[in-house]
């Protein structure tokens, strides 16, 4: 459980870091404007990466508690 938790935590944090740096603007004749679809895509990926990181932290914590009981 600890290994899966650590992997989920690292994947979630890595995905959040990559997603946070994603560009949400597009070029037009008037300059660069924010694209609502790209902003929504980034929000969804940040939500999923946060959920993965929290789940990984919980599994890692429970794995530590169960490991110490044995």
29-64 pLDDT, tens digit each: 999 999 999 999 999 999 999 999 999 999 999 988
Residue 15 has pLDDT above 80, yes or no: yes
Predicted TM-score (pTM) of this structure: 0.82
| Dist CA 70 CA 36 (whole Å) | 51
Token digits of residue 49: 């990466």
Residue 70 has pLDDT above 70, yes or no: no
In our burial notation (b when 16+ CB lie closer than 10 A, e otherwise), range 24-60 reads eeeeeeeeeeeeeeeeeebeebeeebeebbeebbebb
Whole-number pLDDT of residue 14: 96
Residue spans per domain, the chain: 2-69
């Amino acid at each position: 459980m600890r290994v899966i938790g650590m992997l989920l935590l690292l994947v979630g944090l890595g995905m959040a870091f990559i997603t946070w740096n994603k560009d949400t603007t597009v070029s037009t004749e008037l300059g660069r404007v924010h694209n609502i679809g790209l902003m929504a895509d980034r929000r969804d990926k940040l939500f999923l990466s946060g959920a993965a990181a929290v789940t990984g932290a919980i599994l890692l914590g429970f794995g530590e508690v169960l490991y110490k009981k044995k």
